[in-house]
Amino acid sequence: MVRRGPGSGVLVAISRAAFGILERVYIEVDDLSRVATRFLTHLVVEARTRGYVRLDLETGTEDFFAPARRLYRQHGFTECPPFGDYCNDPNSIFFTLAL
């Protein structure tokens, strides 16, 4: 895990057989959109390199997470039902991206 702080990002897991799950992605910088776009693009390329057919992720529903939800939607992620061990939760929203 990489330290959290200004300008840092963390990818804990792109895992599972034919699909990946993005977990604990943190980006804290002034120019969030540019850095976040580059970071997310890198993760998608890595997932494709590993042969995954889709990427899934969970993020929060609170206003604090609005920039993240906007970023995922702008890059083609669509809302989906809970996946893996996740259950419906009013504090969570789930996204998927076909690769």
26-63 confidence digits (pLDDT tens):
665 555 677 788 888 888 888 888 888 888 889 999 99
Q: What CA–CA distances, in Å, run from 88 to 6, 38, 85?
A: 32, 30, 10
- pLDDT interval class at 80 (50, 70, 90): very high
pLDDT of res. 8: 43
Q: Is 82 exposed, middle or buried (0-12, 13-18, 19+ CB in 10 A)?
A: middle
pLDDT of res. 12: 43
Residues 6+ apart with CB under 8 A from 75: 37, 40, 41, 44, 97
Query: Contact 61/91 with Cβ under 8 angstroms?
Result: yes
Domains in the chain, ordered, with CATH? Answer: 19-98 (3.40.630.30)
Indicate yes or no: pTM above 0.85: no
- pLDDT interval class at 7 (50, 70, 90): very low
Task: Kindly state the percentage of the chain with pLDDT values over 70.
Answer: 68
Query: Contact 97/44 with Cβ under 8 angstroms?
Result: yes
Comparing 1-5, 24-28, 94-98, which segment has the lowest mean pLDDT? 1-5
Query: Contact 43/75 with Cβ under 8 angstroms?
Result: no
